[in-house]
A and B are shown apart, each in its own frame.
Chain A
Amino acid sequence: MTPGSGERRMAVGRTSKLRNFHQAKWDEEIIFELSNPGERGVIPTAAEPGIVAEVGDGISAIPAHMLRETPPALPEISQMRVLKHFLRLSQQCLGADLNIDVGQGTCTVKYNPKINDVIAASPKAAELHPDQLEETVQGALEIIYKLDLFFREISGMDRFSLQPSSGSHAIFAMASIAQKYNETHGEADRRDEIITTIFSHPSDAAAAAVKGYKVITLYQNEDGLPEVEALSKAVSPRTAALFITNPEDTGIFNPHIIEFTRIVHDAGGLCCYDQANANGILGITRAREAGFDMCFFNLHKTFSTPHGCGGPAGAALGVVAHLADYLPVPLVEFDGAKYHLNYDVKHSIGRTRAFYGVFPVLLKAYSWIMSLGAEGLKQVARTAVLNNNYLLKKIRKIRGADAPFARGRHRIEQVRYSWEQLTKDTGVTTEDVTLRMADFGFHLWSSHHPFIVPQPFTIEPTESYSKEELDEYVEALEKVIEEAYENPDFVKGAPYNSVVHRIDQSTFDDPEKWAVTWRAYLKKHGKR
């Protein structure tokens, strides 16, 4: 076959077809079931005879009551079988490298360039201890310092910490800074409320509540947006801060955001911008112009670092100049010749994690920004928005699908859709569609709770997928919906080509039956 020939010819205007997909299904055992007493997976190094001659077995130095009496019941498995087991499990998992991963809206599942993984695996990064003398880690400190400078440009904020371990962690740090700020100004007891919106991430509410804040949540109007009047009513002398995302999870940009920050500032509160996902607005609009005091970016979303099944993640937390003294310690400084760690930050909230941040993630984000530059970042945003509105147009045409709110208007980087009509017509729910999409090798996510949009699903195509791939995703959706209208029970029985069949969900909420570990499973289900 010559390149480019055949039905799957990759060119504009090809006629694609649905893949006859079947996921790998190994029917793989639980690791403990592979154990054969006596087998070894890896043999640790032993102390040299000279050491043993000096100190004996080492164990006799430990008081007997502190020694483990029974060895841990870990499995005993030879090396290749362990490898095979985990490789099989990996094959039963659909990463973005294999999937057209547009179905996990809000999470910006984009291409994670392999070169960045190669760079981050360097022993010059992997074999670095955080407490080495500063002169031996100048390269690592330079990466952190330069990321601070990059994010200042991207956001308009004045200073960044790269310490937070994730977006939720950055939200928690923002809440901590707001509280410390109010304590410093003698207002912490009075300012005990934070305001957020229902289409901001659950952590905007939850992480603030950890700091003892009462949470006020603004709901949307028919445009899908929180109203200026509602905010005016919610603010008071008790307002510590506003935690808000924009565009919200609906993909709708709040054009009144500057009004929001003004109202909160007038009441003496701080304005915190959740930019976990900023993929549609890089270089287009910034936290500074909208009047925010703090913002953060998720490096594992917009800045392309891999999601790793749910981490390691990382975040960049930025503040305006008068809040720089509240950032977590240490900060990285540059004196023109050397980089160093600065622990002398007057009102610092202290540490938010061990050491200085998730360094391999920071390194990958640095490389990604360096590959694109200022215009490239803008190109990312513009393409993400193009792709999203293209999908919006196509998905709206699917029978039973809808994109509630802001009708006729463009969206930024994602859309929260609804299968409400489909459910009314056929009884097929978002969950059913999700499970049937798995049969075609696709992931489709509903949305964060609560489901304000009935039967929700959230799609975010990012800049990474080609038009052909977007078309292919839509085609699979169309196929599933066609099936739903023709034979709803068939869709409700899915998945058929996935790894497993419908899981008994009742187990997970029943303390008598749930089992978070194999040993608990064996005990509860009468096998041990």
Chain B
Amino acid sequence: MWNKEFMHPYIPNSVPEVRERMLEEIGVKDIEELYNEIPEELRFKGAMNLPEPLTSEYDLKRHVEEILAKNRSCEETVSFLGGGCYRHYVPAICDEINSRSEFLTAYAGEPYEDHGRFQALFEYESLMAELVDMDVVNVPTFDWCQAASTALRMACRITKRAKVLVADTISPNRLSAIRNYCHPVVAVGLIGHDPETGAVDLSDLQAKIADDIACVYFENPGYLGFLETAGETIADIAHGSGAICVVGVDPITLGILKPPAQYGADIVCGDIQSLGMHMFFGGATAGFIATRDEEKYVMEYPSRLFGIAETSVPGEYGFGDVAYDRTSFGVREEGKEFVGTAAALWGITAAVYLSLMGPQGMFEVGRTILQKTRYAMKRLSQVGGLRVPRFEAPHFKEFVVDFNGTSKTVEEINKGLVSKGFFGGQDLSREFPELGEAALYCVTEMHTRKDIDGLAEALSGVLK
């Protein structure tokens, strides 16, 4: 089937007559001649062992859908999973905009023919800036792992120090990525936590802070769901020894909770997946970094920063790259870390989300989440043998359920829950062995009272 006459819909110049004319123009007889710079010994003589192609669009669709049908999605099963990937409601217009051909298939055009891309991302930066109450926000990076890693490296460059302190309740996966990103240039130390509240152990922080520490990093809410209530004290301690305060935050909390910049954060980072992205098996992440508009901070970003400017026509807005020569695009290894394709379309999607929500929407979604989370904690605490929440602290949308008072493991419990139509919270027994049998539960505005009551009943059943 694959002779020269075969026409694949994605390859227009397969038509023999067209090929002949093009070869004639080039002045060669065969396409093979165009490869004559590749030595014989490098030529691949075998055949790639790939499945037979499904050239019919319908056959292809059916094939992939048959594989995907083996998944059981969170539309079919009530999920209480969170831990960095969240099922929040995605307004229809978010998907409408991010599936537009113009945005979906644009890449690296100039601010002239891609004015809309620049403006949309400038607006993303601007909307996020209001949410986090800071004046500079980057074009998104890959995810929170990358945003936090870069925030720590930025702090080291700004302070000219090479050690950072991280609150040890951070997601172990994020910590793994941070450690690899910092090694061997930056040393990552951990700060302990209060076993009852989860909050940063201030005496441990006091003991470890020193004049060679570049920054202190903590998250609010913490990975384990509790709120860190002593943010200002932590920031003061960091500042007291010339260190920078870096705070990771879930931006969907910020319609209700105080933005970290207002309690002393100098760099704020996190993931925008909550703001209009579906979960996509954890693949729709995008990291943000925010700072004050100070040259010493701005010049340490590795990311693209789209700025606004005037044009030769009065009243017209134009856009472009702020301080491009700090980037690796500008000066290769002399630039700040590296920059490249990351997650721009999710930034545009978050811009749509924040524009739709407005201040009132962000307040209301936060309030609904708080109410439903509190309700869920209350309901689950009535299930025999459970300690809910595990940490004595205020919570936003996640909380740890302690199952040590039951005779079952989280693994057993979650298997039992699946058969009853629920994805139970994430098993923490490997990530935080000191918690024993515990799971991280997440409640969003998407859950109904029926979902939560159903979970409580199912848990009672499983634990019987």
Contact = CB atoms under 8 A, between A and B. Distances in A.
B415 A133 contact: yes
Nearest to A92: B116
Nearest to B144: A354
Which of B48, B321, B348 is packed against the most chain A CB atoms within 10 Å?
A: B48
Which of A94, A210, A308, A501 is packed against the most chain B CB atoms within 10 Å?
A: A308
B25 A393 contact: yes
A371 interface: yes
B323 A509 contact: yes
Interface in A46-60: 46-48, 50-52, 54-59
Contact of B281 (A79, A359, A438, A449): A359
A488 B274 CA distance: 50
A62 B370 contact: yes
A237 interface: no
Interface in A76-126: 76-77, 79, 82-83, 85-99, 101, 104, 107, 109-113, 115, 117-119, 121-126
B79 A132 contact: yes
Interface string A334-363: 000000000000000111111111111111
Nearest to A128: B281
Contacts of B79: 129, 132
Interface stretch (B38-46, B208-216, B400-408): B38-46
Nearest to B149: A210
A82 B352 contact: yes
Interface in B1-56: 2, 6, 8, 10-15, 17-19, 21-23, 25-28, 31, 33-39, 41-44, 47-55
Interface string B320-347: 1111110011111101011111111110
B48 A354 contact: no
B267 interface: no
Contacts of B144: 354
A115 B61 contact: yes
Interface residues of A, number: 221
Which of A46, A255, A445, A520 is packed against the most chain B CB atoms within 10 Å?
A: A520
A273 to B, nearest CB: 12
Nearest to A216: B333
B25 A74 contact: no
Given A382-B31, A508-B323, A361 B258 contact: no
Contacts of B108: 104, 107, 307, 310, 445
Contacts of B360: 40, 71, 76
Interface in B143-174: 143-146, 153, 173-174
A438 B354 CA distance: 31
Contact of B320 (A113, A188, A508): A508
A68 B273 CA distance: 22
B203 interface: no
Interface string B92-120: 01011111111111111111111111011
A494 to B, nearest CB: 9
A371 B42 contact: no
Interface residues of B, number: 217
Which of B42, B65, B89, B358 is packed against the most chain A CB atoms within 10 Å?
A: B358
A167 B341 contact: yes
Contacts of A18: none
B275 to A, nearest CB: 11
A186 B320 CA distance: 46
A203 B340 contact: yes
A129 B74 contact: yes
B256 A358 contact: no
Interface in A115-163: 115, 117-119, 121-133, 135-140, 142-143, 150, 153-154, 156
A507 B72 contact: no
B145 to A, nearest CB: 5
B196 interface: no
B457 interface: no
B362 A74 contact: yes
B201 to A, nearest CB: 19
A219 interface: no
B100 A90 contact: yes
A44 B177 contact: no
Contact of B74 (A128, A179, A519): A128
A289 interface: yes
Nearest to B359: A71
Contacts of B68: 119, 122, 124-125, 139-140, 143
A312 interface: yes
Given A12-B15, A358-B283, 17 more contacts: A30-B308, A41-B355, A48-B448, A66-B394, A86-B93, A123-B75, A125-B71, A130-B281, A166-B142, A168-B339, A202-B335, A210-B185, A257-B42, A258-B42, A281-B38, A358-B280, A504-B311
The 4 A-B residue pairs with the shortest CB-CB distance in the complex, in nearest-first order: A355-B282, A373-B53, A130-B282, A58-B370
